Amino acid sequence: MALTEISENGSEYDVPALSHLWEFMQTWNRIAPEHRAAIEAEINRRLVELILSPNPNWGSITNTSIEGGRLNPTTGIRGDWTGTVFDPIYQACGQNEDVAGMFFGNVWKRVIISRTERWYGIRQEPTFPQRGILLGGKSYFLKTQARDLN
């Protein structure tokens, strides 16, 4: 298993596949195959970048809300996917920001499950209790950094 999730009570469980895969595929298949491949390639590129150049304060940690809210290089607006590799997600989700954001998180999860490294996924309130940080999406980090969260 490439992904282990940590529940609110601290228990761990392996995630071999997405929950509700049938519903996920209904939306995923609305996106053209070449766009799906580009989306997965960009997520993999960002994960490799995290692994190769970990943040000195955070290590190789990412959060789907942060990733989805990055600055658009064309429009300069945070969270605007217009003209980016992720725009087809927004379109496939009926231009609904909330639905697209949740679907975006599931695409990340699906890509992480398919990778060879061991990742942890966590969502809790607050996301990083000792740091008082609350993030809407799920946070993913390499297993070797598990002890750094508390």
Residue position matching structure tokens 């639905």: 99
Mean local confidence (pLDDT), 77-104: 90
Contact 121, 140 (CB under 8 A): yes
Instruction: Name 119's bridge partners.
Output: 3, 142
Share of the chain above pLDDT 70, in %: 85
For residue 40, pLDDT over 90 is answered with yes
Q: Are strands 3-6 and 119-122 parallel, antiparallel or unpaired?
A: parallel
**Rounded Cα distance, 145 and 140, in Å:** 10
Largest CA distance in the chain: 42
Q: Give mean pLDDT, residues 76-82.
A: 85
Domain-wise residue ranges, the chain: 3-149
- pTM, two decimal places: 0.83
Name which residue leads in pLDDT, 143 or 88. Answer: 88
SS3 39: helix
